[in-house]
Amino acid sequence: MKKILLAVIAAAIVIVAGVVWAMNGLRTAPQTSSSSSQMSTSSTSGSGSGTGSNQKTLIVYYSRTGNTRAVAELIQNQVGGDLFQIETKVPRPKNYRAEVNQNEQEQSDNTLPVLKSKVPNFASYDRVFIGSPTWNMALPQAVVTFLDSYNFSGKTVIPFNTNGGYGVGSVFTQIRSGAKNADRVLQGFSVEGGQETNGILLAIKGNRRVQVSKEVDSWLSRIGQNRK
C-alpha cells in the first residue's frame, strides 16, 4: 500500500514539474522575440549613421552653356537634394566675346555682380555642393558673390567644375577660401565640358553624359558621399 502511495506522489510531482516548465517556456518565448525585434529595428534605423545619407543637401551651380548644370543634375540623381542656379540680377551678355570681356573686367576690378535671388533657409543645409565653370582660369565673379553672401559655418562644402580643356585653374582654391567657416571642404570633381570658342556648347549630353555620370558616381564614392 505504501509503495502504491509513493508511486502516486512521484507521478504527481512529475506532472506538476512538467506544467511549471511549460508555463515558464511560454512566458520566455515572447521576451526572446521582442528582444530580437528591437535589435532589428535598431540596426535598420542606424543604417545611415555616419554615411551622409541623412544630410540635407544643396547643389548650387553657375552655368552659361549647360554643362555645369548637367553635372549638378547628375550629382542630384546620386545624392538627392535641392538644386539652386546662381544668376545675376542683370542678365549676362549672350555674345561669347562680350561675356569674356565683361568677365575679365569684373575679375580685374574684383566687381561682385548682384545676384537675382537668394537660397531660402540656407542655414538649414548640412552639405553644399558648389559648381562652376573655369572662366579666365578662375571663378566667375557671380560665384564669388555667392560665396561672399553666406556663412558656411558647420557645413561640408564640395566643389565641382567644368572647363573647356584648360583645367580647373584657381576655382577650387577660391571656393575653399571663400566658403567662410566651413566645417570641411572635400576633394572636388572636374570634367571637360564645352568649347565655346570652337562652337561646342553643351557637350555633356547623350553618351558623354552617361560617361560623366559614371565618373561622378566614382568620385562621390571616393569622397564618402553616399547615394540617396
Q: Whose CA is closest to 175, among 141, 209, 139?
A: 139
The boundaries of the domain holding residue 205 are 57-222
Higher pLDDT: 45 or 100? It is: 100
pLDDT tens-digit readout, 109-132: 999 999 999 999 999 999 999 999
User: What was the pLDDT predicted at 53?
Assistant: 57
Inside any domain, residue 91: yes
Other CB atoms within a 10 A radius of the CB of residue 183 amount to: 13
- Average pLDDT, rounded, for the chain: 82
CATH of the domain at 115: 3.40.50.360
pLDDT band at 48 (very low <50, low <70, confident <90, very high): very low
Residue 152 DSSP one-character state: -
Inside any domain, residue 69: yes
Inside any domain, residue 114: yes
Do the beta carbons of residue 64 and residue 91 sit within 8 Å?
A: no
pLDDT band at 25 (very low <50, low <70, confident <90, very high): very low
φ, ψ for residue 189 (rounded to 5)? -120, 130
Inside any domain, residue 7: no
Count the domains in the chain.
1
Cβ neighbours of residue 144 closer than 8 Å, sequence gap 6 or more:
112, 174, 178
Inside any domain, residue 176: yes
Inside any domain, residue 186: yes
Higher pLDDT: 199 or 79? It is: 79
pLDDT band at 199 (very low <50, low <70, confident <90, very high): confident
Q: What is the C-alpha separation between 205 and 208, in angstroms, rounded? A: 5
Residue 113 DSSP one-character state: P
Inside any domain, residue 115: yes
Radius of gyration, alpha carbons of the chain: 31
Q: For the whole prediction, is pTM greater than 0.85? A: no
Q: What is the C-alpha separation between 135 and 125, in angstroms, rounded? A: 28
Inside any domain, residue 21: no
